[in-house]
Amino acid sequence: MPDHDVLVIGAGLAGQRAALAAAEDDVSVGIISKVHPVRSHSNAAQGGINAALNPDDSWESHAFDTIKGSDYLADQDAVEIMTQEAPKELLHLEHLGVTFHRNEKGELGTRAFGGASAARTYYVADITGQAIMHVLYEQLMKYSDEVARYEEYFTTGLAIDDGGACVGAVCRNVKDGSMELFGAKSVILATGGNGQVWQPTTNALICTGDGISMAYRAGAVLMDMEMIQYHPTTLAGKGFLITEGARGEGAHLLNAKGERFMERYAPNKMELASRDVVSRAEQTEINEGRGFPDGTVALDITVVPRKRIHEALREIVLVGQDFAGVDITKEPIHIKPGNHYTMGGVKTDVWGRTNVEGLYAAGEVACVSVHGGNRLGANSLLDTLIFGRRSGEDAAERAKGREPARPSQSVLDDEQARIGEILGREKGSGRRVSEVRKELGETMDKHVAVFRDEAGINTALETVKRLQEEARSCYIDDRGSVFNQDALGALELGYMLDNAEATCVAALHRTESRGAQYRTDFPERNDEEWLKHIDLSHKDDAPEISYSDVTMTQWEPQERTY
């Protein structure tokens, strides 16, 4: 049995940062990922990372923008920590070798981003997430004696001891199908978000909410699960992301009549209002017949100087070319709001600690909450790094001097039996996993998206419950051990359905409009009743609702205009 002081599950930015931070504390660290670490979805963060590093900027300003962006649902103590620690973290990355853009003096240079009152987004062309993640992976290779990497190990469940503490995890080695029980004094979940629950989505195929589901089933509380971000600029049909950096560089949004419609919705910030605002504006234009026949509006990047496009938006030039057949330097590209980010997740404190002893969560899987009802662009990378590091530090501290974990062998037996049952299902006995997954995605995108109402969410919830039943008998073709992606797909479907159920329950329950949750039947924000988090715990195989307060420090809720 592999045994570590700190076991990190997930190797995107949050996971890698946590592993490196824990290793600095001289504890034994293992990092597990169902794909090779550099395949993780942090790659997709194009635009940049926010930090109030310039002397004329301040963490208070960054914090206020974040809190306003969150529609006052973010916990202000957590936002303060994130924004205060941002400059130091950014410089740390620069020192490790991230090739951040420089100004003409050779110093770190910035670009503008949505919802921000200062240009405080630091970037590497439009591959910021990829650049940071590959540099962190360089560090993991450097410290391979200190951090054991388990690449292409799929985590099927957490090991919880009799006292309710997390003491490890069970994983399937994707390459040969062997199952292993990992013992750990502290376990950090860094498994990312759940975008695949929606179709289409900007998220990678691996973003199936694994950690959210596993934590929930292990007794952890989920928070703000109704808060799902729709990004304003995604390619219709395929869901590919066009970075907010494009608007940061000055691109315009136009409806089919050629109007710069954001004038009507956010006269001051225009295209750079926060994402929920811009997505709603676009969807309104589309719904009211001012979009294009393919259900889109246009993003006009041609107004950005070509030199600048090639230097700063290179990836978008390629995306336009390869996936839409459009030369974005010459013509506008059709876009629409698309599923993008999970603001909610496993509830943690500012050290990444969940309510389950020994279990931590960081990054998109977690909900600290620094994003509340709506995440600002370029705050996600920051979230992963700050709370990844803090989780790593605290998890290492907790592990020191503690007796080695002794997870029960029965956890492994249970997980083996569960997979054995899936492998043993008779062919043709039920629906195919892919069919169920598709129906789930389309249902959620139809009913639990930019605009929501009670009837729609109820329809979605009923569908999810039916699909949960159907998933129990989904059959798969592959009975083998080596790279059996079919079996893993069946497990992921289960995770996704848990996520979907939680989102529907919370979205139905929150009878107001705040951030990404816009209820057409309750169009106003209602601070009196709803300035609070919805918490969900797993009881009798369904989410049980409770509430927790939003932590306020110095920013009182105001009306939100951009």
Nearer to another protein, 455 or 482 (CB): 482
Is 275 among the catalytic positions?
Answer: yes
Residue 198: CB minimum distance to another protein, A:
14
Q: Which residues of 420-457 are buried (b: 16+ CB within 10 A; e: fewer)?
A: eebbebeeeebbbbeebbebbbebbbebbbbbbbeebb
- How many CB atoms are located within 10 Å of the residue 217 CB? 16
Distance CA 549, CA 405 (A): 34
Q: Do the Cβ atoms of 207 and 516 come closer than 8 Å? A: no
Residue 400: CB minimum distance to another protein, A:
26
Type and span of the H or E element at 5: strand 3-9
User: Which pair of tokens denotes residue 500?
Assistant: 């979907």
Distance CA 259, CA 262 (A): 9
Residue 443: CB minimum distance to another protein, A:
18
- Rg of the chain over Cα atoms, rounded to whole angstroms, equals 22
Residue 480: CB minimum distance to another protein, A:
5
Distance CA 241, CA 285 (A): 20
Look at residues 365, 375, 363 and name the one whose alpha carbon lies nearest to residue 228: 375
Nearer to another protein, 131 or 491 (CB): 131
Distance CA 561, CA 180 (A): 52
Residue 138: CB minimum distance to another protein, A:
4
Nearer to another protein, 14 or 206 (CB): 206
Q: From start to end of 275-315, where are the E strands?
A: 297-300
* 3-class SS of residue 121: strand
Nearer to another protein, 98 or 169 (CB): 98
Nearer to another protein, 87 or 543 (CB): 87
Look at residues 216, 308, 169, 55 and name the one whose alpha carbon lies nearest to residue 544: 216
Look at residues 71, 74, 51 and name the one whose alpha carbon lies nearest to residue 61: 51
Nearer to another protein, 94 or 453 (CB): 94
Residue 547: CB minimum distance to another protein, A:
36
Write down the H helix ranges in 40-165: 59-69, 76-96, 128-142
The string of DSSP codes covering 394-422 is HHHHHHTTPPPP---HHHHHHHHHHHHHH
CA angle 123, 129, 135 (to 5 degrees): 95
Distance CA 269, CA 135 (A): 34
Look at residues 364, 365, 368, 361 and name the one whose alpha carbon lies nearest to residue 392: 361
Residue 335: CB minimum distance to another protein, A:
14
Look at residues 20, 45, 21, 16 and name the one whose alpha carbon lies nearest to residue 32: 16
Residue 254: CB minimum distance to another protein, A:
22
Look at residues 253, 251, 240 and name the one whose alpha carbon lies nearest to residue 279: 253
Distance CA 462, CA 240 (A): 29
Residue 242: CB minimum distance to another protein, A:
11
Residue 33: CB minimum distance to another protein, A:
11
Nearer to another protein, 141 or 542 (CB): 141
Nearer to another protein, 132 or 254 (CB): 132
Residue 215's contacts (CB-CB under 8 Å, 6 or more residues apart) are: 158, 189, 222, 346, 354, 356, 359, 361, 365
Nearer to another protein, 191 or 274 (CB): 191
Q: What share of the chain is helix, strand, coil (3-state, %, to 5)?
A: 40, 20, 40
Catalytic residue among 149, 247, 275, 389: 275
* 3-class SS of residue 206: coil
Nearer to another protein, 404 or 420 (CB): 420
Look at residues 164, 142, 141 and name the one whose alpha carbon lies nearest to residue 151: 141
Q: Which sequence positions are flagged as catalytic? A: 275
